[in-house]
Copies of this chain bind each other. A is one copy, B any other.
Amino acid sequence: MSTPGTIWGVGLGPGDPELLSVKADRLLRGARHVAFFRKAGRQGQARRIVEGMLRPDVTEIAMEYPVTTEIPLTDPRYNEMLSVFYETCTDRLRALSDAGEDLVIVCEGDPFFYGSFMHLHSRLCDHCPVQVVPAITGMSAAWTATDAPITWGDDVLSTLMGTLPEDMLAEHMTRADALVIMKIGRNIEKIRRALRRAGRYDAAWLVEYASMPNQTVQRLSEAEDKITPYFSIILVHGQGRRP
User: Interface residues, chain A, CB within 8 Å of chain B?
Assistant: 13-14, 16-23, 25-26, 73, 78-80, 82-83, 86, 110-115, 118-119, 121-122, 125, 132-137, 140-141, 143-144, 147-161, 163-164, 168, 171-172, 175-176, 211, 241-243
Q: Told that A18-B23, A156-B158, A156-B168 touch, could you supply 15 new A-B pairs with CB distance under 8 A?
A: A14-B134, A17-B22, A19-B21, A19-B23, A20-B22, A21-B22, A114-B151, A114-B152, A114-B155, A119-B242, A122-B149, A122-B242, A133-B144, A156-B159, A156-B161
Sample (6) of A-B pairs whose CB atoms are under 8 Å apart: A18-B26, A21-B22, A79-B243, A114-B151, A114-B153, A172-B176
CA distance A112 to B82 in the complex (A): 36
Q: For the complex formed by this chain, how many copies does it contain in all? A: 2
The 4 closest A-B pairs by CB, nearest first: A82-B243, A18-B23, A134-B140, A157-B159
Please name all residues of chain B whose beta carbon is closer than 8 Å to the beta carbon of A82 when the two chains form the complex: 243
- Dominant secondary structure at the A interface: mixed
Asked, given contacts A119-B243, A154-B163, whether A18 binds B18 with beta carbons under 8 Å apart, the answer is no
B19 adjacent to A150 (CB under 8 Å): no
CA distance A160 to B115 in the complex (A): 22
B149 adjacent to A112 (CB under 8 Å): yes
